[in-house]
Amino acid sequence: MQSGFGATAPYTVGVEEEFQLVDPVSRGLTPAVEEVLAAGDGSRLITSELSRSCVEMLSPIFATVADLARELPGLRREVRDLARSRGIEIVAAGAHPFSEPTEQPLTGGDHNLRVVEEMGWVARTQGIYGLHVHVAVPDGDTAILAVNALARHVPLLVALSANSPFWRGSDTSLASTRIKIFEMFPRSGLPPVFQNWEDFEDHIEALVVSGSIPDYSWCWWDARPHQKFGTVELRAPDVQTDASYTVALAALVQCLVARVGMDEQPPEDALYNAENKWRAVRYGMDADFYAFAAGRMISARSMARGLVEELRPVARDLGCEEELGGVLEIVELGTGAELQRAALERSGSLVGMMDYLTKGTAPG
């Protein structure tokens, strides 16, 4: 495949947001993606995913995260209006709180049919909704360094973005149920540590030759190089109900990628990193992470505050200091998972809580 590295200026940014398609009366999932796509009449803003109860919004490429912040609410309203024209609402949360995911019909097409053939029943569980952040990098070796850097911070990124505490009508006690559901897929979770682009290509070639995958896009790690787009893609986060949370996470990811070369820390031990990721999945921003190399505990909130301060010079250079500061708002106001639980307490039911999610996804 032809490489897209270097096709755009370094550190340009784009996002993909997966939205639930919800019946406005029952508040349950509804398999209406074909109707929404038809309303879009070929719009490049939206596409389908594996579940027919999902529509994915593909943002344009933005030179700065400040541009993303300015445009994202309007892009969401555009998708909302397309859905409403077909009697459907969109909702941004990592999992629907009560609809049965395995009852959602799946979309067709050669790619999805192969996924279903490979994954079997697991494909039917994937009624989940993520946020993907893309940051452009100049070449493959830089992409590998950036993936390694992002992987080190996956536990904190998961904690900040956790937004799926409910599943099939129950509180799972997890901050991000979506993470554990998606980890049933092969080649998901934390990425392997590669030394350089050649090392990555050798790995992909071995998987292709063995018949395990058709191409690199079947490696669904938390962070990965995206050769076609010429980006590094962070895939770990749940989709965010509040667009400003998406912007804050995008700023954090952009800064971490732009710091590659200045940040010479070795890759995190994968087993230790996985322990901290589990704490993030379970407790969100209430997690206490263990710095195994230093032999000390650090709270997720302290880590987030410290990382924002550490990255402020990079953010100033990128013009996203205000947007990076949004990470501190997540710390203070609460993650999506925390806010969902608070909304449930106010409304008294998961159906009522869906009103909060619907209004918060695309207000105005």
Q: How confident is the model at residue 193 (pLDDT cuts 50, 70, 90)?
A: very high
pLDDT of residue 262: 73
Residue with tokens 């796509």: 37
pLDDT of 105 higher than 60: yes
pTM summary value? 0.96
CA–CA separation, 355 and 86 (whole Å) = 19
Burial class from Cβ neighbours inside 10 Å (0-12, 13-18, 19+) for residue 192 reads: middle
What average pLDDT does range 319-343 have in this prediction? 98
Over the stretch 126-138, which tens digit does the pLDDT of each residue have? 899 999 999 999 9
Task: Return the percentage of the chain with pLDDT > 70, whole number.
Answer: 98
pLDDT of residue 263: 60
- Cα atoms found within 13 Å of the Cα of residue 17, Cβ hemisphere only: 34
- Quote the Cα angle for 255-257-259, to 5°: 70
- The total number of residues shown for the chain amounts to 364
Over the stretch 202-258, which tens digit does the pLDDT of each residue have? 999 999 999 999 999 999 999 999 999 999 999 999 999 999 999 999 999 999 999
pLDDT of 261 higher than 80: no
pLDDT of residue 295: 85
Q: What b/e string do you get for 341-364 counting C-beta neighbours within 10 Å, with b at 16 or more? A: bebbeeeeebeebbebbbebbbee
Extents of the domains making up the chain: 13-361
Asked if CATH classification 3.30.360.10 holds for the domain at 13-361, the reply, yes or no, is: no
CA–CA separation, 248 and 177 (whole Å) = 22
CA–CA separation, 362 and 218 (whole Å) = 31
